[in-house]
Structure 1
Amino acid sequence: MGAVERLVCGLHILSVLSVTMGIHVEFQKQEYEVARDDPVDLICTFQTKMENSPAVIITWSADPDDPAEPLITIGTYYYTTTKKQVDMNAAYKGQATMTNDVPGGLSTLSFSHVTLQENRVFQCTVQIPGDNVGQQADTTRVVVLVAPSVPVCNVQGAAEYGHNINLTCKSEEGSPTPTYKWLRFDPRNNPQPFPPRTVESNGVLSLFNVSMETSGYYVCTSTNKIRSNSYNMTLSVGPPTMKVGATAGIVGGCVAGAVVLIIVVYCCCCRKKKKEPEYEMEEPVAFHDEPPLETENVNVLNTVDRYEESREDDGKRIGYQQDDRSDRNEGSRSSDRLDRYDEGRSRSNDRLDRNDRLDRNDDGRNHSSDRLDRYDDGRSRSSDRLDRQDDSRSRSSDRLDRYEDSRSRSSDRLDRYEGSRDRLDNNSDRYEDSRTRYDDRRDYYADNRDHHGNGR
């Protein structure tokens, strides 16, 4: 008996058994492989012991994503001798259709295009009243073929000396589920073995006690029966680095320490400022003008003038009168005038002493200028402190304003002193001139006196 004859015989026996035992539902293929967006027809056949059944119900369903949930109903076909009706799930309208041939024992679920949502198990169920013995349902798997996407690779853990890390690799898409393979290369693209104790499992490459030698180029390849995709990553292992939390703690500690240090320095400066003598303006030097000498000079000049007038009168008398009595009277008056001259000269010497005091006042003025220079130096140092402390600067500014006012008053006094001194100098010059003329007259008078003495 040939093979074909044996197959026909087997089918005949199966049909006889099915009729004898009850209904039998079966898919032509246990798995359908189809590329994404391609069409596919799922064919379900059934046989029953009842011929010309008055009613048949055919249901297509699919496994849910969550096994705990019920089956997803795609469509139901109701067949009677008077009515035929198909109820399709709204989610599959426009994408799936049902074609049924009850007398021929055939039902077909057709997809115009498949997506990853159809990557699941489908079930065909046939219900015939009065024939519930046997296999009423059968399943088939639809495998939607999708090439794996470019895998996404990451490093889990710190790539630092002595640490353990994982290199992960996973494709977002890929059907059937892709497999993963890791390879290692050097900078010249030559394959390199993995470090000791390396473990690879389901796209995860585990590296232990990493070091500088663990660094390099790692390639992950994602593969399924359609095609493959790869991703290259560079692993750089370095020395341990400070954590962000520790860094933030150290920075915060430094900032807090700096704030405390600034407060301490500020308090010390304030305390030192209270202890240090401030550069205040010294008491202005009072230049007391000597009592005006104009009155005394005028008196002296008046005396000299009266002496000159008397002398002129005496000359006239001496020239025209040569009597003894006139000579005696004139000699007596001349002696009085000489006495008054000596007194005026003493007062002139007193005025010269006062001029010496004015010179000493000049020395005092120079000393005051030196003190002002030292004050300017102190003011410069005070300005440096003012730059460091704004509060002290405002107070020092007030003191400087008071000093400027006092200095202006001192300048006014100096100006008045200079004017007074100029007037004294002028008076001294006039006095010297008067003294010179007076001495000349005195010499002249002495000569006349000697001449009169010789004449007697």
Structure 2
Amino acid sequence: MAGLLGSFLCGALLGLVCVSAPGRAVEVKVPAEPLSTPVGQTVELTCSYSTSVGDNFALEWSFVQPGKPVSASQPILYFTSGHLYPTGSKAKRASLLQNPPTGGVATLKLTDVHPSDTGTYLCHVNNPPDFYTNGLGLINFTVLVPPSSPLCSQSGQTSVGGAAALRCSSSQGAPRPVYNWVHLGSSPTPSPGSMVQDEVSGQLILTNLSLTSSGTYRCVATNQLGSASCELTLSVTDSSKGRVAGALIGVLMGVLVLSIAAFCLSKFQKERRKRPKATYGGSDLWEDAMAPRISEQTSVKAKSRNGLLERTPSASTVTTTKSKFPTVV
């Protein structure tokens, strides 16, 4: 009796231990090193797992953009209840290397990769009651892009003794391009001390400019997929020559103005000498006098001949009126 009771207690205890024991761990394995593929190619993101696949098995691939948290991930595809459901913007280019992914392999295949495919990919396996681990693997992936044609620009004081900054930048390129400036042509290259360039930012600083600093400069942007370049022409001017030329032009303009003024004055004096002088003969008076019993009418006509005024008297008419009174002798 005691032995039977002992056997029962041992069996009950064993059953309790079996019920309370946790399920198997879900182990997900992904590459530890970042992956990269040239733009337009196909990439396979390897993901394997170990668990006892049951009816509750589920697999999900998702994507998160660089610099964003994992919680902001967007789904690519998921497998559950024996069916595969692609979703999101990558649905037409995403598939599983093995479908259904129930054999321990959940590798994602992505075709015609775009620059926007660069980011972190999450392989998540969920298989209750196997909850011992989170069943999550992360893969960092980069799409390699050759540098786009860079844009060259300049700023600063491009005169002798001044300083100028040349800049070069590509809008696309992965990994990020490095930049190198070269001075083209047969003119002497500026001294190393007057040229300082930053290969990361693409900036070239030229100090203590001289006339030999003039010329064409080329910037080459390079990464492991290729290179691209742009050029600009730098013209260094001598400001001292400009000041001398300006002063000379000012003097010439002053001489020209004085010459024109002297010419106009001389012409005015010549014209003035050619004008006739006005002379007057006699007294230009118009008289109209009437004596007692005598009326006189005089007309004066002035004519100008050779600058002289002439007076032509008209005929005078004298009328005498006899007295109506008798004359006393």
Query: TM-score, normalised on structure 2?
Result: 0.61
- CA distance in 1 between counterparts of 2:232 and 2:183 reads 10
Query: Are residues 170 and 132 of structure 1, via their aligned partners in 2, closer, same or farther at CA, if it must alter by over 3 Å?
Result: same
Give the distance between the partners of 2:50 and 2:102, measured in 1 at CA: 10
Q: Identity across aligned pairs (percent)?
A: 23
Name the counterpart of 2:195: 198
Larger RCO, structures 1/2 (Cα 8 Å, 6+ apart): 2
Q: Displacement of 1:116 after TM fit?
A: 0.8
Bigger proportion of residues as helix: 1
Alpha-carbon shift at residue 125 of structure 1 (Å): 1.8
Call closer, same or farther: CA 1:165–1:129 in 2, change over 3 Å.
farther
Task: Tell me the CA shift for residue 63 of structure 1.
Answer: 2.8
**2:141 maps to amino acid:** V
The answer on 1:211 being equivalent to 2:214 is no
CA distance change for structure 1 residues 88 and 52 in 2, over 3 Å: closer, same or farther? Answer: closer
User: For residues 136 and 205 of structure 1, what CA distance do their matches in structure 2 show?
Assistant: 50
Show the counterpart of 1:183.
182
Q: Which amino acid aligns with 1:423?
A: A
Deviation, structure 1 residue 240: 6.1
Q: How far off is 1:21 after superposition? A: 8.2
Query: Matched residues in 2 for 1:154 and 1:127: separation?
Result: 54
Q: Does 1:47 align with 2:45?
A: no
Q: CA deviation at 1:93?
A: 3.2
Partner of 2:82: 84
Report matched runs for 1:411-426 at 5 Å.
421-424=313-316
The structure whose residues are more often strand, as a share, is 2
Aligned equivalent of 2:61: 60
- Distance in 2, Cα, partners of 1:171 & 1:208: 25
The one-letter code matched in structure 2 to 1:75 is I
Structure 1 match to 2:6 = none
Match of 2:12 in 1: none
C-alpha deviation, 1:101, in angstroms: 3.4
C-alpha distance in 2, partners of 1:191/1:22? 71
**Is the 1:56–1:129 Cα contact (8 Å) retained in structure 2?**
yes
What's the offset of the Cα at 1:129?
1.9
For residues 134 and 151 of structure 2, what CA distance do their matches in structure 1 show? 46
Q: Does 1:93 align with 2:91?
A: yes
For each residue in 1:22-68, what CA deviation from the matched residue of structure 2 results, as whole angstroms up to 9, or x when unmatched?
Answer: 332223684443332333332321112xx243322222222324435
What is the deviation of 1:196?
0.9
Cα distance in 2 for residues equivalent to 1:104 and 1:171: 46
Alpha-carbon offset, residue 204 of structure 1 = 1.5
Question: For the Cα contact (< 8 Å) 2:74–2:88, is it kept in 1?
Answer: no
Contact 1:184 1:194 in 2 (8 A): no
Evaluate the alpha carbon distance shift between residue 64 and residue 143 of structure 1 in structure 2; reply closer, same or farther with a 3 A threshold: closer
TM-score by length of 1: 0.45
Kindly tell me the number of residue pairs found equivalent between the two proteins.
248
Q: How far 1:214 sits from its partner (Å)?
A: 2.7
Q: Distance in 2 between matches of 1:175 and 1:117?
A: 11
Q: CA–CA distance in 2 between the matches of 1:163 and 1:69?
A: 51
| Other structure's SS at 1:149 match | coil
Q: Residues 100 and 106 of structure 1 are in contact (CA less than 8 Å); yes or no, is this contact kept in structure 2?
A: no
Deviation at 1:78, TM superposition (A): 4.1
Alignment partners' CA distance in 1, 2:135 and 2:70: 22
Larger Rg: 1
Q: Find the aligned partners of 1:181 and 1:205 in 2 and give their Cα distance.
A: 9
| Cα 1:22–1:167 shift into 2, 3 Å | same
Q: Is the 8 A contact 1:57 1:76 kept in 2?
A: no
- Which residue does the alignment assign to 1:278? none
Aligned partner of 1:90: which letter? G
Q: Check whether the contact 1:28–1:45 (CA below 8 A) recurs between aligned residues.
A: no
How much is the aligned-residue C-alpha RMSD, in angstroms? 4.1
Question: 1 CA distance for matches of 2:46 and 2:39?
Answer: 19
> Structure 2 stretches of 5 or more lacking a match?
1-22, 241-283, 319-329
Residues 24, 130 of structure 2: 8 Å contact kept = no
Question: Is 1:174 equivalent to 2:173 in the alignment?
Answer: yes
**Does residue 124 of structure 1 match 2:154?**
no
Counterpart of 1:173 in structure 2: which amino acid?
Answer: Q
C-alpha distance in 2 between matches for 1:179 and 1:73? 32
Work out whether residues 179 and 223 of structure 1, in 8 Å CA contact, stay in contact via their aligned partners in 2. yes
Aligned counterparts of 1:42 and 1:162: Cα–Cα separation in 2: 57
The aligned residue for residue 15 of structure 2 is none
User: Taking structure 1 as reference, are residues 132 and 39 closer, same or farther at Cα in structure 2, changes over 3 Å only?
Assistant: same
Corresponding residue SS for 1:107:
coil
CA 110–152 in structure 1, closer or farther in 2 if over 3 Å, else same: same
Q: 1:173 to 1:181 in 2, by over 3 A?
A: same
Mapped to 2, the partners of 1:21 and 1:52 lie a distance apart of 11
Question: Is the Cα contact below 8 Å between 1:58 and 1:78 reproduced in 2?
Answer: yes
